[in-house]
Amino acid sequence: MGSSESTQNARSKEGNDSGRSGSGEELRTENRDEVTGSDIAKVALTVVAVGVIGYLSSLGSSESAKNRKTMKAPGRDYRIFRDDFEDDPAGGAFIGNGSFGSVNFVIPRNTHFLQSPTVVKSAHVFKSSTLENEYDVLDSLGFCPQIITCFGHDSTFEHGEEYYNLFLEYAAAGSLADILKTRRRGFSELEVRRYTKSIVEGLRHIHARGFVHCDVKPANILLFENGDVKIADFGLAKKAGEKQRNCELRGTPMCMAPESVNANSYESPVDIWAVGCTVVEMVTGKPAWSFKEGSNVFKLLIRIGMGDELPEIPDELCEDGRDFVRKCLVKDPSKRWTAEMLLKHPFVANEALMMSPRCHFDFPDLNSTEAKGFLVVDTFVS
C-alpha cells in the first residue's frame, strides 16, 4: 500500500475521539408536537452546558496492564511522529484530531519498550485535563480484556511548547461507528450479540471499580484485528457518587439518559441506557433517536428527558434482542437493569449463539476495499 493511501485511510478514523454522535450520517427526522416555551426553559441551561463543558474540556493487550508505567523522555525509547511538524520524517503517521487534541502513531526505538502497536493522544499541557482524567481512570480500573489498554503517560517539549501524552494500544479496525459508516447499514445479529456482550462485560468491570464511563456510543467502542471489542475514551468518566458541578454535562446527546437531562445525574445506569441506544444503532446503522443533524437540540433533549417517548426498537431485531433493549431503555434509572443482570439475559448469555470468527476479516460481507485501511499499522511498527 502506498503512503498516500495509508494516510487517507488513517485519516478516515479521525472522528473516533471527537465526541460526535453519528457525524456525517443521514439521520431521520419526524414531525413532533410543538414544544412550549416552558419546556424549552427547563432544558435551556442544560443545552448551554453542552458548549460550556466542551470548552472546559479543551482546557483542561493482556500483558500490557503489567507493564503500565510513566514513559521515558522522547529520543530515548520512542518517537512521536506528527504531520504538523516540519521535521516529521514519516508521512501518514497522523491518525486524527479530537476535542482533546491529536492522535498519532508512536514508533519505538527499542523493540522491547512497546510490545504492541501504540498510539498517543496529545494535548497542550494547558488543555490536557481530559487526557489526564482518562489516564487516572484507566490506571484505577486496572486490566480488563474489554477495556482499552493504557501503556502510560508523559510530558514532552516540542517546538518550545509542553504537551501531555497518553499512550494507548492501537485498534487497527477502528471504531464500530467507523465500520457502520463504511457499510452504510447495520451489523448482523450475531455481530451485535458479540459486541454487546463485550461492552456489557467492560461496563461490569468499570461499575464494580466504582466508575461511570458517561460516554458509551459506537464511536467509543473499538474493534481489533483479532476480533476483540473494547471500550475506549474515558475522558468524561467519573467516580460513582461524585457530586456534579452545576451546569456540568457529560456525554453525547444521542445516547444521553433521561436523568442526565432532567437532574444532571451521572451514575452507572446512564451507561446502561447508552448500551440500549448503541444496540439500536448497531442494528440499524443509524442513531437511536430520529434527529437530523443541525436540527434544534432543545427539542431532542425534551424528547429524551420529558414524557414517555423511547427510541424505536428495530423490528429486524429478534425478540430476545428487543427485550434486552427494553431492559436498558427504562426511563426510571432505579428500574433499569444493571450490567451484571444484563449478562444473564439470553440475548448475550447463550454461548452457543456467540460462536463466530475471531477476526473481522473472516466476515464475508466485509470486502477488501473496506478492510485495506486496517493494515496501515504494519507501515509504522516493526
pLDDT digits over 170-215, tens only? 998 999 999 999 987 899 999 999 999 999 999 999 999 999 999 9
* 75 phi/psi in degrees, rounded to 5: 90, -5
3-state class (DSSP) for residue 97: strand
Q: Are residues 200 and 214 in the same domain?
A: yes
Picking from 138, 171, 204, the residue at the C-terminal end of a domain is 171
* Residue 378: inside a domain: no
Q: Are residues 187 and 130 in the same domain?
A: no
CA–CA dist 145, 62 (Å, integer): 7
Where in the sequence is the domain holding 42, given as residue range(s)?
37-55+172-362
Q: Which of 17, 178, 215, 233 is catalytic?
A: 215
Q: Are residues 259 and 346 in the same domain?
A: yes
pLDDT of residue 352: 52
Facing residues of 167 across strands? 120, 152
CA–CA dist 380, 382 (Å, integer): 7
* Residue 160: inside a domain: yes
Q: Are residues 151 and 268 in the same domain?
A: no
For residue 260, pLDDT over 60 is answered with yes
For residue 267, pLDDT over 90 is answered with yes
Q: Where do we find the cell 460516554?
A: 215
Catalytic status, residue 378: no
CA–CA dist 120, 147 (Å, integer): 16
Domain harbouring 89, CATH code: 3.30.200.20
Residue ranges in the chain assigned as alpha helix (H): 3-11, 37-59, 129-141, 176-183, 189-208, 258-263, 268-284, 297-305, 319-328, 339-342, 346-349, 368-371
What value does the mean pLDDT take over residues 139-162? 92
Q: Are residues 262 and 303 in the same domain?
A: yes
Q: Are residues 75 and 213 in the same domain?
A: no
Q: Are residues 179 and 320 in the same domain?
A: yes
pLDDT of residue 117: 78
Q: Are residues 128 and 184 in the same domain?
A: no
Binding residues, as ranges, are 121
Query: Which residue has better confidence, 249 or 273?
Result: 273
Q: Are residues 7 and 153 in the same domain?
A: yes
* Residue 367: inside a domain: no
Picking from 150, 171, 192, the residue at the C-terminal end of a domain is 171
What value does the mean pLDDT take over residues 18-43? 42
Lowest mean pLDDT among 43-47, 103-107, 331-335: 43-47
Binding residues for ATP, as ranges, are 121
Q: Are residues 217 and 355 in the same domain?
A: yes
**pLDDT band for position 298 (50/70/90)?**
confident
pLDDT of residue 354: 53
* Residue 110: inside a domain: yes
CA–CA dist 356, 189 (Å, integer): 11
* Residue 369: inside a domain: no
CB neighbours (10 Å) of residue 275? 25
Q: Are residues 320 and 199 in the same domain?
A: yes
Picking from 110, 139, 171, the residue at the C-terminal end of a domain is 171
pLDDT of residue 244: 73
In whole angstroms, how far apart are CA 202 and each of 118, 231, 332?
21, 7, 23
Q: Are residues 236 and 332 in the same domain?
A: yes
Domain harbouring 318, CATH code: 1.10.510.10
The count of domains in the chain is 2
pLDDT of residue 288: 94
3-state class (DSSP) for residue 36: coil
Q: Give the number of residues written for the chain.
A: 382
* Residue 376: inside a domain: no
* Residue 193: inside a domain: yes
What value does the mean pLDDT take over residues 125-149? 95
Using CB atoms within 10 Å of the CB of residue 154, give its burial: 0 to 12 exposed, 13 to 18 middle, 19+ buried.
middle
